[in-house]
Amino acid sequence: MKFTDGYWLNKPGFDFNFAIQSFTASMTEDALRVVCATVPIEGRGDLLNHATLTVTFTAPMPDIIRVKVEHFRGQRDPGPNFELYESPVKPVITETEDAYIFESGRARAVVSKKKRGWCVRYEGDGKLLTESEYHGMAHAHHRESGIDYMIDSLDLDVGERVYGLGERFTEYVKNGQSVDIWNGDGGTASEMAYKNVPFYMTNRGYGVLVESSSDVRFEVASEKVERVQFSLQGQSLTYDVIYGETPKGILDRYTALTGRPALPPAWSFGLWLSTSFTTSYDEATVTSFIDGMAQRDIPLSVFHFDCFWMKENHLTDLTWDPDVFPDPEGLLKKLKARGLHICCWLNPYISQESNMFDEGVEKGYFIRKENGDPWQTDMWQPGTAILDVTNPAACQWYAERLRRLMAMGVDAFKTDFGERIPVRGIKYFDGSDPLRMHNYYTYLYNKLVFETIEEVKGEGDAVVFARSATVGGQKFPVHWNGDSSASFRSMAETLRSGLSIGHSGFGFWSHDIAGFEQTATADVYKRWAVFGLLSSHSRLHGSSSYRVPWLFDDEANEVVKKFARLKNRLMPYLYGAAVEAHEHGVPVLRPMLIEFPDSIACETCDRQYMLGANLLAAPVMHADNHVDYYLPAGTWTSILSGEKAEGDTWRRETHDFLSLPLMARPNSVIPMGACEERPDYDYTDGLELHVYQPEDGEITVTVPDLKGHVAATYVVSTVDGKTTVQTDCEKPYKLVVHR
């Protein structure tokens, strides 16, 4: 939110209390508390009739400094609050003549004692990260509305760039943008986002998490071009300065605090095929799709039933439409006999025509208006009510229906929607603040579904396909980017959103191949299929038309076949990257900056990415078949053609539809499996170790089993140009060296 009219003036109607100088301080074993004056203090009477701001520093984890800024400290906290995993450390707190110093591991806050010189300097390993200084920290009051706001802003250095803030479709680098952390269903061509995360990182080795599920507003080098400002309604503001030194280090610390991504089952990495949304489908249609994929040797892992597996106007009642699917258990049994896993669409909105509605009203299972009636709307379905996810009984009621579906053979659920959550004139079962529940609703919704699957199928075999999210939502993978359009432009904005959410702690991400809205031309379909099959998860899904490749052209069959089979061969490598995401929060599809933090060129790359640590992918997004991409230093090798290219340069290439720049990093090892037909197999059986441009030294490669445990370790050694391998695995392998 912007509070100023240029640099010198404030917007009319606002009264401000800016932190001017530290006035008093107190220290305990765990905290430093500084009282800030908001007027210059020359004598004991100067604080009369003026506000103070109380700033408390604590250490929720090593290398993290929590900052809580309060105006009125006696306000009730109705919640909700993010579920955090703290491991508090005893900070080192000291006082000098000029400053109060608070240290958490390698991170340090230095609070100036200077009169009329309020400044908090944040450091990592003794180096300046950022500062909160003049006219940065404040309380604001809007006289007409009576609304109070808390504000702080942190400096940006020359060349400092900001990333993240959830899954955003705007420019990859967030400098110059105003960002509202407010979940909405706006498609992928707007500044609105389905997954808003009040966390950003910069290329200077730190990140900032604002600990509020409310409508946090960021001005990223926009209102004040030298700063990132964040503000929210209320009397207090809490944020964490997270020092990680590198992007990987930041994500490791951030996901340790907010939750690690669960490891999805290996089968979920294969190709998903959907009925699409409003198309007509029944058992014959479904079977024809699956038969068509098999006839064309296109491996399929998951079949997804979208909304109308239920009866129209009855969404959501979690009951198969008997007119279309008279024997759902029989159908699912047939599909599973073909080695397929099953996913079904759902959401938490329940039509008044649903067979769940009357019971939900009677038992108080829906979000209610202040008079006790269920809140309802005609948006989406007639008379829609919304499940109250703060009510444990309502959650169990909903979960029991999911268990019934899983007993029939359903393996996963697409948890759609979760963004259109009302905030005015309503109340929740647990008394949560409706404003703060708007974004947080999705966390509880996806947690409910994910944990229900986990209870039935066991840890390590749970997966959802979720659209909305907030802080902590990364624990419940997978997420897809929402309603994109069938164009190259939408393909580019989709990739930007994937890079952005990768900076936000989400390890697994997908998108609708060839766009959700409209029907793609054959060239867009084929290019997007390659991009989709080189993402962590891959789904063919659309709105009003089917997405099977033979409806586009014959070559589309070959494109989907080639890259679906390639992805399955790459699973020993990809599942290893998935384990890294699970253990450290580093995404499978990762921005170039995450792997090359010292490369200035990589700071702005938004049309390419690293797939895991060692594969660079640059999807082709132009009708004339050209692609521009940056290769970091070294000799890179195409894993498709074997051609080599020297890096530290930008390249423009032209590729046919069966190709793209898919480059192996110099001095890397890519383990490839022997199976092209499915993603879940014994990765050590027939393994090939592809070594690219080896340098003298050792590279240790671990290959996981289907639970993410280490199945085998291979130590690849190169001495004087000769490469050998030592392993603890008794199964034979093949060593392929690319020089």
Residues tagged active-site = 416, 419, 483
Structure tokens at 602: 């990589």
Q: What one-letter code names the amino acid at 151?
A: I
Integer Cα distance of 15 and 12 in angstroms: 9
Q: Would you mind telling me the total number of residues written for the chain in this entry?
A: 739
User: How deeply is 35 buried, as exposed, middle or buried, from its count of CB atoms within 10 A (0-12, 13-18, 19+)?
Assistant: middle
Query: What is the spatial distance between Cα 199 and Cα 181, in angstroms, rounded to a whole number?
Result: 10
Per DSSP (E only), the strands in 302-340 are 302-305
CB 110 within 8 A of CB 133: no
At position 160, the amino acid (one-letter code) is: E
Q: In the structure encoding, which two tokens stand for residue 29, read together? A: 């074993």
- CA-nearest of 691, 105, 168, 221 to 469 is 168
Cβ-in-10-Å burial (0-12, 13-18, 19+) of 600 comes to exposed
> Quick check: helix, strand or coil at residue 376?
coil
Neighbours of 340 (CB within 10 A): 21
615, amino acid identity = L
**Rounded Cα–Cα distance for residues 486 and 49 (Å):** 60
Contact 512, 542 (CB under 8 A): yes
CB 202 within 8 A of CB 124: no
Alpha helices in 314-433 (DSSP H): 328-337, 357-363, 392-408
> Judging by DSSP bridges, how do beta strands 626-631 and 649-654 pair with one another?
antiparallel
Residue 530's nearest CA partner among 549, 513, 508, 507 is 513
Peptide bond preceding 316 in cis form (omega within 30 of 0): yes
Let me know: does 277 contact 544? Beta carbons within 8 Å.
yes
- Which has the closest alpha carbon to 484: 189, 230, 227? 189
Tell me how far apart the 2 most distant CA atoms of the chain are, in Å: 87
Residue 630: alpha-carbon gap to chain centroid: 24
DSSP 8-state assignment for residue 603? G
Q: Are 226 and 261 in contact (CB under 8 A)?
A: no
Say which residue the tokens 């586009």 belong to: 552
- Extended beta strands in 71-205, E state: 92-95, 99-104, 107-112, 120-124, 127-132, 138-142, 148-155, 162-167, 177-180, 195-202
Pairing status of strand 479-480 against strand 509-510: parallel
CA atoms within 13 A on the CB side of 582: 19
Q: Cα separation of 159 and 221, whole Å?
A: 12
Q: How far apart are CA 96 and CA 56, in angstroms?
A: 18
CA separation for the pair 558, 560 (Å, rounded): 6
β-bridge partners, 738: 692
**Neighbouring C-beta atoms of residue 258, cutoff 10 Å:** 25
